[in-house]
DNA sequence: ACTGTCTTTGCACACGTTTGCGAAGATGCG
DNA sequence: CGCATCTTCGCAAACGTGTGCAAAGACAGT
């Protein structure tokens, strides 16, 4: 009646019922060829009707393989992160792995605590997404020898495997798209100074200009903050130039959102007067006014690739240390040829 | 050099170094009062410098407590879900629990497989968010006696604990807000027929009308699909009425998004000609044109409450079977008094 | 009938930890 | 000094499963 702890049926219980040894039961449940079909089926039916559920922890203890991995994220609320985790979980689950999830909230001490916990749980691998504290993993990694894969890490050291987006190529695609539309004065609103992804996107922008024999104009590059406010301020700065740009490439969609809002406030038509383009293809990008041209990161794919890479590491293969995935330009309605009188 | 599997140092290794028994080491690491301070400190320092990491699985095997819980979600990519999970993970982690995450993709067979996996992993509890297959858990629940908490489940059976949003109250708040602004013809664009949350929101809407002595007009209630398209079609239907409503209450923000889009297409001003209001307070709600008045669900709080409830169940307490959390009206710029000539 | 091979099963140990119990030593009290 | 109590530690069992090895039985070949 009131049994607070209900002991699940074990392999020994079944052995007793079937009148065999526990090792026979273990083998029968694994369809070992060492057991005759008759007794195997008999044991399996007993197991089924007694509601047997094998203990993964006992198995893990003896096999030394837990079939679990840990993923640590800054915040699962971040839409980018949750999509990546979606891909990781899917791939992991399809390969018999369960995943531990932990938020770090970008706090280093919490991050170490989480990794320590994963270590005690004997996860076979770890994937870290969007963390800025990559260096922190070096001692832990070498000490406990757990394979680690980073995805879109801000400071990917050479010592770990990682999958990351091809920022340079994606950014060049954006710029080329604008150039082909006829734009010649193209601005860039970046993130805060020093972020690797921001620098890479700036690089792509400059390379594309150079290839098209267009001049690089330092005044057309301003810094935002990766958020809405930065986009608004960035636009304000660009509009105060003696000659405004005809197109604005924003570091990410949030920045573009701010840019759109500020342009709307100023009664400047998009894309009639100025074209705007973002990066990330957040859910919101297709619902702005006008729908935003942007660059899509294959987030779920990146998660799957990270997990695939991790499984290779676990099985002992030396997989490629870094995987670079292509970004995809998504053309919507916020970009158009420049007004003729402004060209 | 090439040791593919690196055995972590165990309690026995430390015992050998410290020249004591393994049980002494175990107690020393737990700061047991059975061990003298001197030897305890000696052992702890040895453990630290040898990089010892206790095996949670071995511990779990003997203590019969894994300190893990499982959370199964339809999709972690859903912003509602990811916020709830954020709250769950935070509360769980603060109480020493690790969480397994698994997507069900709303596929029943995958859901059972996942729960089976959790069972084998000997999780101490399970929380399920936004699932429609609640009934599926009854046999599993009774069979393996694992505490389960549901959050915002579509069919919360009486047999499980659950935390859910107060749809009726939130919906009544919305309707009252519109009534106080002076609206008398208020429309409702619902979800597909038969969903519990939709029916509850409709109930709140009707109750508020009744309390204000306003008539309930069946033509003003149309069905959407919980998505953007449903909102667009719903608006179209409402505009074809002989007398259009002056305000539209949408089942959720996505529906409201569609409504805004369609109204914009028809050159109908919001909130000048028609007020629009949503439900959920998705991230996007503050970025629409105009920013959307809506109802906020305290998603992280719901996650924390679910985990708190689950921990009580695990410790044997009979916690309240259902927790109802209040929704909060967020007034932005998509609602205003009706045009005087339309009142 | 003897030997050898193949099939099927059980014994025993291992995985790494916790914990009840007993024992040894230290200490206190009369 | 005798005895009781307290402190500190080790022994051994247990958790539930997997697996090498031996053994028992079945069977075929000579």
Taking all residues of chain A, what is their mean pLDDT, rounded to a whole number? Answer: 91
- Please tell me the distance from the alpha carbon of residue B84 to that of residue B304, in angstroms, as a whole number: 8
Banded model confidence at residue B275, pLDDT cuts 50, 70, 90? very high
| A30 and A175 both lie in a single domain | no
CB-CB under 8 Å, B120 with A56: yes
Pair of tokens at residue A278: 């973002």
User: Is A29 near strand D, with its CB below 7 A from some atom of it?
Assistant: yes
Over residues A156-178, mean pLDDT: 88
- Please tell me the distance from the alpha carbon of residue A156 to that of residue A134, in angstroms, as a whole number: 6
User: Is A135 near strand C, with its CB below 7 A from some atom of it?
Assistant: no
Interface size, chain A vs chain B, as Cβ–Cβ contacts under 8 Å: 132
**Nearest nucleotide relative to A55: CA against C1':** D16
State, as a whole number of angstroms, the distance between the CA of B109 and the C1' of D18.
29
pLDDT above 90 covers a percentage of chain A that reads 78
CB-CB under 8 Å, B66 with A57: yes
Over residues B261-280, mean pLDDT: 96
CA distances from B173 to B71, B169, B202, B256, B296 (A): 32, 6, 12, 17, 12
CB-CB under 8 Å, A83 with B61: no
CB-CB under 8 Å, A144 with B51: yes
Closest chain B CA to residue A254: B287
pLDDT of residue A341: 80
Query: Distance (Å) from the C-alpha of residue B208 to the closest C-alpha of chain A?
Result: 32
State, as a whole number of angstroms, the distance between the CA of A15 and the C1' of C10.
12
Banded model confidence at residue A160, pLDDT cuts 50, 70, 90? confident
Residue A202 has pLDDT above 80, yes or no: yes
State, as a whole number of angstroms, the distance between the CA of B23 and the C1' of C28.
29
Phi–psi pair at B215, nearest 5 degrees: -75, 150
CA distances from B229 to B89, B185, B255, B286, B294 (A): 34, 23, 7, 20, 19
pLDDT of residue B1: 34
CB-CB under 8 Å, B287 with A257: yes
pLDDT of residue B223: 96
CB-CB under 8 Å, A283 with B120: no
Q: Which of B54, B120, B228 lies closest to A54 in CB terms?
A: B120
- Please tell me the distance from the alpha carbon of residue A211 to that of residue A286, in angstroms, as a whole number: 30
State which residues between 37 and 66 of chain A bring their CB within 7 Å of strand C.
Answer: 37-40, 58, 61-62, 64
| A128 and A69 both lie in a single domain | yes
| A247 and A104 both lie in a single domain | no
Q: How many residues does chain A have?
A: 343
For residue B172, count CB atoms less than 10 angstroms from its CB and return exposed for 0-12, middle for 13-18, buried for 19 or more.
Answer: buried
**Nearest nucleotide relative to B52: CA against C1':** C16
Instruction: Please write the tens of the pLDDT for every residue from A185-201.
Output: 999 999 988 888 999 99
| B180 and B33 both lie in a single domain | no
Place of tokens 């330092």: A218
CB-CB under 8 Å, B55 with A122: yes
Structural domains in chain B (count)? 3
Antiparallel, parallel or unpaired: β A98-103 and B98-103: antiparallel
Q: Is cis: bond before A79, omega within 30 of 0?
A: no
Asked whether residue A253 is assigned to any structural domain, the reply reads: yes
Query: Distance (Å) from the C-alpha of residue A208 to the closest C-alpha of chain B?
Result: 32
Asked whether residue A133 is assigned to any structural domain, the reply reads: yes
Q: Which of A5, A51, A61 lies closest to B58 in CB terms?
A: A61
pLDDT of residue A340: 83
Asked whether residue B60 is assigned to any structural domain, the reply reads: no
- Please tell me the distance from the alpha carbon of residue A108 to that of residue A133, in angstroms, as a whole number: 7
Asked whether residue A4 is assigned to any structural domain, the reply reads: no
Mutation target to probe the B interface, by most B beta carbons within 10 A, among A30, A76, A280 is: A76
Residue B265 has pLDDT above 90, yes or no: yes
Instruction: Please write the tens of the pLDDT for every residue from B154-185.
Output: 765 655 789 999 999 999 999 999 999 999 99
| A133 and A228 both lie in a single domain | no
Query: With contact defined as beta carbons under 8 Å apart, do B321 and B147 qualify?
Result: no
User: Is B62 near strand C, with its CB below 7 A from some atom of it?
Assistant: yes
- Please tell me the distance from the alpha carbon of residue A8 to that of residue A110, in angstroms, as a whole number: 35
State, as a whole number of angstroms, the distance between the CA of B64 and the C1' of D11.
23
State, as a whole number of angstroms, the distance between the CA of A144 and the C1' of D3.
53
Domain that holds residue A245: 167-297+329-342
CA distances from B196 to B156, B209, B293, B294 (A): 9, 20, 23, 20
Query: With contact defined as beta carbons under 8 Å apart, do A130 and A142 qualify?
Result: no
CB-CB under 8 Å, B57 with A121: yes
Residue A154 has pLDDT above 80, yes or no: no
- Please tell me the distance from the alpha carbon of residue B102 to that of residue B245, in angstroms, as a whole number: 44
| A81 and A27 both lie in a single domain | no
Over residues B73-86, mean pLDDT: 94
CB-CB under 8 Å, B283 with A284: yes
pLDDT of residue B41: 95
Q: Which run of H or of E encompasses B144?
A: helix B137-144
Nucleotides of C under 7 A from a protein CB: 7-12, 14-20
Query: Distance (Å) from the C-alpha of residue B187 to the closest C-alpha of chain A?
Result: 23
pLDDT of residue B157: 61
Instruction: Please write the tens of the pLDDT for every residue from A297-328.
Output: 999 999 999 999 999 999 988 776 889 999 99
- Please tell me the distance from the alpha carbon of residue B5 to that of residue A28, in angstroms, as a whole number: 28
State, as a whole number of angstroms, the distance between the CA of B109 and the C1' of C13.
39
Residue A143 has pLDDT above 90, yes or no: no
Residues from chain A that touch B4, judged by Cβ atoms under 8 A, are 316
Query: Distance (Å) from the C-alpha of residue B129 to the closest C-alpha of chain A?
Result: 15
Q: In what order do the strands lie in the sheet with B161-165?
A: A322-325, A161-165, A148-151, A125-129, A68-73, A98-103, B98-103, B68-73, B126-129, B148-151, B161-165, B322-325
For the four alpha carbons of B110, A14, A58 and A65, in that order, the dihedral sign comes to negative
Instruction: Please write the tens of the pLDDT for every residue from B306-339.
Output: 999 999 999 988 776 889 999 999 999 999 999 9
| A85 and A97 both lie in a single domain | yes
| A250 and A177 both lie in a single domain | yes
- Please tell me the distance from the alpha carbon of residue A259 to that of residue A265, in angstroms, as a whole number: 10
State, as a whole number of angstroms, the distance between the CA of B35 and the C1' of D5.
18
Q: Which of B55, B77, B122 lies closest to A83 in CB terms?
A: B77
CB-CB under 8 Å, B64 with A5: yes
pLDDT of residue B140: 64
| A153 and A276 both lie in a single domain | no
Strand partners, A186: A247
Q: Closest Cα partner for A153 from A338, A340, A39, A323?
A: A323
Place of tokens 């209630």: B221
State, as a whole number of angstroms, the distance between the CA of B36 and the C1' of D1.
29
Taking all residues of chain B, what is their mean pLDDT, rounded to a whole number? Answer: 92
Q: What angle do CA B129, A122, B109 make, to 5 degrees?
A: 35
List the CATH number of the domain containing A91: 3.40.50.2300
| A46 and A174 both lie in a single domain | no
Residues from chain A that touch B261, judged by Cβ atoms under 8 A, are 287
The CA dihedral of B167, B173, B175, B181, to the nearest 10 degrees, is -160
pLDDT of residue B2: 37
Question: What is the DSSP code (8-state) at residue A306?
Answer: H
Residue A67 has pLDDT above 90, yes or no: yes
User: Is B32 near strand D, with its CB below 7 A from some atom of it?
Assistant: no
CB-CB under 8 Å, B117 with A98: yes
User: Is A58 near strand D, with its CB below 7 A from some atom of it?
Assistant: yes
* Between residues B57 and B111, the one the model is more confident about: B57
Over residues A254-262, mean pLDDT: 96
| A158 and A31 both lie in a single domain | no
- Please tell me the distance from the alpha carbon of residue B239 to that of residue B242, in angstroms, as a whole number: 8
Residues from chain A that touch B100, judged by Cβ atoms under 8 A, are 98-101
| A201 and A120 both lie in a single domain | no
Asked whether residue B5 is assigned to any structural domain, the reply reads: no
Residue B6 has pLDDT above 90, yes or no: no
Asked whether residue A222 is assigned to any structural domain, the reply reads: yes
- Please tell me the distance from the alpha carbon of residue B221 to that of residue B237, in angstroms, as a whole number: 10
Q: Which of A22-36, A140-154, B128-142, B152-166 has the lowest mean pLDDT?
A: B128-142
Banded model confidence at residue B86, pLDDT cuts 50, 70, 90? very high
Antiparallel, parallel or unpaired: β B328-330 and B294-296: antiparallel
Over residues B239-259, mean pLDDT: 96
Asked whether residue A2 is assigned to any structural domain, the reply reads: no
Please report the DSSP string for B147-215 in residue order: -EEEES-SS--TTSEEEEE-HHHHHHHHHHHHHHTT---EEEEE-STT-HHHHHHHHHHHHHHHHTTPP
Residues from chain B that touch A100, judged by Cβ atoms under 8 A, are 68, 98-101
Banded model confidence at residue B55, pLDDT cuts 50, 70, 90? very high
Instruction: Please write the tens of the pLDDT for every residue from A72-88.
Output: 999 999 999 999 999 99
Banded model confidence at residue A2, pLDDT cuts 50, 70, 90? very low
CB-CB under 8 Å, A61 with B57: yes
Asked whether residue A279 is assigned to any structural domain, the reply reads: yes
Pair of tokens at residue A98: 């369960």
Residue A46 has pLDDT above 80, yes or no: yes
Mutation target to probe the A interface, by most A beta carbons within 10 A, among B84, B112, B121, B302 is: B121
Pair of tokens at residue A321: 């240390």
């Amino acid at each position: 009646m009131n049994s607070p702890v209900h002991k699940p049926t074990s392999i020994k219980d079944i052995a007793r019922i079937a009148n065999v040894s526990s090792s026979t039961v273990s083998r029968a449940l694994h369809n070992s060829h060492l057991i005759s079909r008759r007794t195997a089926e008999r044991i399996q039916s007993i197991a089924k009707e007694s509601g047997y559920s094998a203990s993964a922890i006992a198995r893990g203890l003896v096999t030394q393989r837990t079939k679990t991995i840990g993923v640590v994220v800054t915040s699962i609320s971040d839409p980018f992160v949750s999509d990546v985790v979606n891909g990781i979980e899917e791939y992991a689950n399809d390969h018999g792995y369960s995943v531990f999830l932990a938020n770090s909230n970008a706090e280093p001490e919490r991050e170490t605590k989480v990794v320590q916990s994963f270590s005690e749980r004997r996860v076979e691998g770890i994937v870290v997404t969007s963390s800025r504290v990559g260096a922190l993993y070096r001692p832990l990694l070498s000490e406990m020898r757990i394979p680690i894969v980073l995805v879109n890490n801000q400071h990917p050291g050479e010592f770990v495997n990682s999958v990351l987006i091809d920022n340079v190529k994606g950014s060049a695609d954006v710029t080329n798209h604008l150039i082909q539309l006829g734009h010649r004065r193209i601005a860039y609103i970046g993130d805060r100074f020093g972020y690797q992804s921001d620098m890479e996107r700036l690089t792509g922008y400059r390379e594309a200009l150079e290839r098209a024999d267009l001049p690089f104009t330092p005044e057309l590059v301003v810094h935002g903050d990766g958020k809405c406010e930065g986009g608004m301020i960035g636009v304000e700065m660009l509009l105060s130039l003696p000659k405004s740009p005809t197109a604005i490439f924003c570091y990410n969609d949030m920045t573009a959102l701010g840019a759109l809002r500020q342009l709307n406030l100023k009664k400047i038509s998009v894309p009639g007067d100025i074209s705007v383009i973002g990066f990330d293809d957040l859910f919101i990008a297709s619902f702005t006014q006008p729908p935003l041209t942007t660059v899509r990161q294959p987030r779920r794919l990146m998660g799957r690739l990270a997990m695939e890479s991790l499984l290779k590491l676990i099985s002992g293969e030396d997989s490629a240390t870094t995987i670079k995935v292509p970004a995809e330009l998504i053309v919507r309605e916020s970009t158009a040829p420049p007004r003729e009188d402004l060209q």
